Structure 1
Amino acid sequence: MADADNAPAVSPAAANDDNASGDHKGIKEVAAMLGVTHRTLRFYEDNGLISPQRVGSTRIYSKRDIGRMQLILRGKRLGFSLREIGEFLDLYDSDPSHIEQMEHLRGQVREKLAELRAQKAALEETMRELRQIEAEATDRIEARR
C-alpha cells in the first residue's frame, strides 16, 4: 500500500459530498490520485468502508468515495484499526448534532493520543540509550587510535 502522507487532507463535509455534478472517476485514476493500488481500493470496498457505483463490472468512484478513501488512509497512517476507521466514517455519515456520537469519537481520539504519547516516550528513551551506546563506542574507538 502507498504512503498515506501524500493523500490530500479532507474534511468530513467533503467526505460526505456525493457530488451531484457527476464528476466520477475510474479505479485507475483514483488509485493514481491517492497513491494506492487497485487492490487496496478493492480491499476497502470488500470491508465495507467504500461502496463505489458499478457500471457493469467497472467501479465508478464519486467525490464522496474519494473523500472517504482519504479519511481511511489518514486513519491508517494515524494507527487506527479498520474497525475504528469504520466507526469514524459512520460518525461522519451521521447527523453531527448527535452529541453522544461526537463524544465517542472524541474519546477514541483521546485514547489514541495517549497511546501515541506513550510510544513517543518509549522511542525517546530508546534513542537516548542508543546515543549513549554510540558515544561509548566512539570513545573506545578513539582511545585505541
Structure 2
Amino acid sequence: MSKHGAIPTLAYRNADKAIEFLVKALGFEAKNVYRDDDGHVMHAELQFGEAFIMLGTAENKSDFGQLTRIPEEVGGHNTQSPYFIVEEIDNHYKNAVTHNAKIVMPIKDEDYGGRGYSCKDPEGYIWNFGTYSPYS
C-alpha cells in the first residue's frame, strides 16, 4: 500500500539559522540534516507532528536551484505558504511571539471555523498555523 502526502520544500541563505528558528519558535523537530564538504546544509528534514518540511541552503547552480527563488529575491513575496494544524494554537502563538516570529496576521477565530495566525520567519517565508482541519 502506498503512502501519499505533501512535503513543502524551501531554500534559505542561512539554513542553520532557519533550522534553529523553526525548532525554537515554531515547534519543528530536526530529524535529519545532511551537509556538503564545506558544512553547508544541502538537505534537512524537519518534522511537525506527522507533517514534514525539507530545506537546504539556497543556491542557483543545481537544476532545482535554478527553478526557485527565496523571498528576498522576489521583493519579499511568497507564492506558497504552508499551513500546519495545531491543537494548542494559543500556546503555539505565544511561543512564536516570544521567539520573535514576525506576526503578519494575528491570532483570530475564523468565520469558517478554527482559530489561527500567520507569521514570517527571518528570511521572509510565511507560515500558517491553526486549529482548522479539513480532515475532521
- TM-score bin, normalised by smaller chain: under 0.3
Q: Which structure shows the higher strand fraction?
A: 2
Larger Rg: 1
TM-score when normalising by structure 2: 0.26
Q: Which has the higher contact order (CA 8 A, sep 6+)?
A: 1
